[in-house]
Chains A and B, each alone.
Chain A
Amino acid sequence: MKLSEIRDILDAKVIVGEDKLDLEITTAFGADLMSDVLAFARSGCLLITGLSNPQSVRTAYALDIAAILVCRGKSLTDKFVEISQELNIPILWTRYIMFEVCGMLYKEGLTGCVTQIQDSEDKQIA
């Protein structure tokens, strides 16, 4: 699914990355706890979060996450936008709550970047 389709489905605003709307995204991870994102998310996914601070952008950058969708209409600071531009990470913003966002995107074919957390000691971050 293209980033532009995600924008349309969620009636989202593009805050950063107008030039990256053709980006193909097939998986997503939703969380507000960045330690869980760092532990379980995968590169190339969409990060759905209500945490609109610089740390969510830096977390996305650490894992090569494709884009961030800020949900629940959380307010965005200038610093957040500035760091997203600097690290070249597209930001979408929607008023829908996380549950609605996940449901709407799943219905259209987006899946989790992992489905269940395993006990295995896999050290690779795909």
Chain B
Amino acid sequence: MPSDEYLQGIYYIQGRDFVDAGIVSSEIKKSLKDKGIPESIIRRVAVITFEAEVNMISYSEQGTIQLFIEPDAITIQADDIGQGIEDIELAQQEGYSTADDSIRELGFGAGMGLANIKKYSDIFEITSNPGDGAHLKSVVKL
């Protein structure tokens, strides 16, 4: 994780709060626009944080997304407390999903989330202890 001097914000996410899914992604996008980051980079960060947020709402009790801006990269660190991921390899496969109807009603839950995050990240790392939670790091180079 980058040092604290580059920390731009910490965003709190409550599990099962389906109505507001995406609000953190929108807030992060607004803050990056104010900083004059290139639009194509902002779009990637917005997609990554949106999917990370939907995952936390869907599968965790609560979590945080930390946003770091260094001169050469933006890092998104997403940590949650909850059920975690049993099989990380399988969870990254497009189309694999354990989503329920409340997630599908949002327009998510088709097994694209982690694949999308990976697609738009320059560096992507995910770890999980089933029963404890999941930790995801995504870096977008500037």
On whether A39 and B122 interact (CB within 8 A), knowing A59-B22, A63-B43, the answer reads no
Q: Decide if A124 is an interface residue (CB 8 Å cutoff).
A: yes
| Interface residues, chain A, with chain B CB atoms under 8 Å away | 32-39, 43, 49, 51, 53-56, 58-59, 61-64, 79, 87, 121, 123-126
Could you tell me the dominant secondary structure of chain B's interface residues? helix
**Are A61 and B107 interface neighbours, CB within 8 A?**
no
What 0/1 pattern do residues 101 to 113 of B give for CB contact below 8 A with A?
A: 0000111111011
A39 touches B22 (CB 8 A): no
A47 nearest CB across to chain B (Å): 11
Q: Are A125 and B43 in contact (CB under 8 A)?
A: yes
Nearest A-chain residue to B45, judged by Cβ? A62
Residue of B26, B39, B108, B121 near A87 (CB, 8 A) is B26
Chain A residues, CB < 8 A from B29: 61-62
Q: Which residues of chain B come closer than 8 Å to A37, judged between CB atoms?
A: 107
Docked pose: A37 CA to B25 CA in angstroms = 15
Q: How far is the CA of A53 from the CA of B103 in the complex (A)?
A: 12
Tell me, in angstroms, the Cα distance from A34 to B29 when the chains sit together: 17
| Chain B residue nearest in CB terms to A126 | B40
- Of all chain B residues, the one with the shortest Cβ separation from A49 is B107
Segment 1-49 of B: residues with Cβ below 8 Å from A? 19-23, 25-26, 29, 39-40, 43-44, 46-47
A51 to B109, CA, bound (A): 14
Pick from B29, B39, B113, B122 the residue with the most CB of A within 10 Å: B29
> Could you write out 14 A-B pairs with CB less than 8 Å apart?
A34-B107, A37-B107, A38-B47, A43-B39, A49-B107, A51-B107, A58-B25, A59-B107, A62-B26, A62-B29, A62-B43, A63-B46, A63-B47, A64-B43
Q: A9 to nearest B CB, angstroms?
A: 25
Find chain A residues with CB under 8 A from B121 CB.
123
> How far, in whole Å, are A101 and B110 apart by their CA atoms in the complex?
24
CB neighbours of A35 from chain B (8 A): 51, 107-110, 112-113, 116
CA distance A95 to B64 in the complex (A): 40
Instruction: Tell me if B22 and A58 are in contact (CB < 8 A).
Output: yes
B120 at the interface (CB under 8 A from A): yes
5 extra A-B contacts, CB within 8 A, seeds A49-B107, A58-B25: A35-B108, A35-B116, A58-B21, A58-B26, A62-B46
Whether B106 pairs with A125 at a CB distance below 8 angstroms is: no
Residue B50 is within 8 A (CB to CB) of chain A in the complex: yes
Identity of the chain B residue whose Cβ is nearest the Cβ of A32 in the assembled complex:
B107
A36 to B108, CA, bound (A): 9
